[in-house]
Amino acid sequence: MHRLPLPLLFLLLCSRAEAGKIIGGTECKPHSRPYVAYLETVTSQHTLVTCGGFLIRQDFVLTAAHCAGRSITVTLGAHNIKEKEDTWQKLEVAKQFPHPKYGDNTHYDIMLLKLKKKVNLTLAVGTLPLPPQFNFIPPGRMCLVAGWGMTEAEVLDSNTLQEVKLRLMDPQACRQFMTFDHNLQLCVGNPRKKSAFKGDSGGPLLCAGVAQGIVSYGRVDAKPPAVFTQISHYRPWINEVLKEN
């Protein structure tokens, strides 16, 4: 399968009309993933799309570069994104930092978001640790991804936060994606049709309590495997942006 053109990829993975989902997963215990963020992006075409992300500092969220737009609003502390709770903290993004090498080939699909103000850390809102540079996680490791994306390939997005366990696969399993690069990306899937899908873009891949990957792209039919940005490769860039801001 050829890699999807970026505009189509953005529509498939991150649109509100076909909002993303966790395929084959289960509903999270409310507020058990306090770092997961819900992103609403106004695009250059003035349409509203949704993505995921995760809090790494009180004023910074990490997400996918293809979730960039004219403006972004971040909601933290949510479980059912349609039912506002006292735990919600909704903030505007002051500045977007897509990776400078990000382009139409979907490599370097990572972006930092500086919030207009710091969030309050509570039981429902917390940060997620990042891996060190050159951190290697072997194929076969079971990890977890969470998001409000689609729960089936042809249904609307989930109102409640979903999660699913996924296995890190050998890079050869992603050879169907023509420009997959195992130095920059992780190949993740599950043979029993569990995956991240539309609307989950930008969400974290959690391995042993550490964010190792970011949902990037997958197949149109939602069948595994899917491709995740490998965070450890980008630690020097992340550290530099955080230090300067």
Closest by CA position to 204, among listed 184, 188, 191: 188
What's 107's domain CATH number? Answer: 2.40.10.10
Mean pLDDT for 78-101 is 95
- Identify whether the C-beta of residue 212 lies closer than 8 Å to the C-beta of residue 135: yes
Cis before 225 (ω within 30): yes
Residue 25 has a pLDDT of 62
**Is residue 83 domain-resident?**
yes
Catalytic center residues: 66, 109, 201
pLDDT in tens, 170-201: 999 888 888 799 999 999 986 554 444 444 78
Same domain, 183 and 146: yes
Query: What is the rounded (10 degree) CA torsion for 76, 77, 80, 85?
Result: -120
Q: Which amino acid is located at 171 in the chain?
A: P
Residues 218 and 41: their CA atoms lie apart, in Å, by: 20
pLDDT surpasses 50 at 26: yes
- Strands 210-217 vs 226-230: parallel, antiparallel or unpaired: antiparallel
pLDDT surpasses 90 at 116: yes
Same domain, 103 and 38: yes
Residue 184 has a pLDDT of 93
Same domain, 153 and 213: yes
Same domain, 154 and 121: no
Mean pLDDT, the chain, rounded, equals 82
pLDDT in tens, 40-87: 999 888 899 899 999 999 999 999 999 999 999 999 999 999 999 999
pLDDT tier at 124, thresholds 50, 70, 90: very high
Indicate the pTM of the whole model. Answer: 0.85
- Identify whether the C-beta of residue 61 lies closer than 8 Å to the C-beta of residue 54: yes
- Strands 60-63 vs 48-57: parallel, antiparallel or unpaired: antiparallel
Same domain, 119 and 77: yes
Number of domain units in the chain: 2
Same domain, 182 and 227: yes
Last residue in a domain, options 127, 160, 177: 127
Closest by CA position to 65, among listed 231, 242, 243: 231
- At 147, list the tokens: 């998001």
Of the two residues 137 and 128, the one the predictor is more confident about is 128
Range of the structural domain that residue 198 is part of? 141-232
pLDDT in tens, 3-22: 333 333 333 333 322 223 44
pLDDT in tens, 193-241: 444 444 478 999 999 999 999 999 877 766 778 899 999 999 999 999 9
For 214-232, the DSSP string reads EEEE--TT-PSPEEEEEGG
pLDDT tier at 2, thresholds 50, 70, 90: very low
Residue 224 has a pLDDT of 76
| Alpha helices (runs of H) in 83-219, residue ranges in sequence order | none
Q: HSE of 141 in the Cβ direction (CA atoms, 13 Å)? A: 17
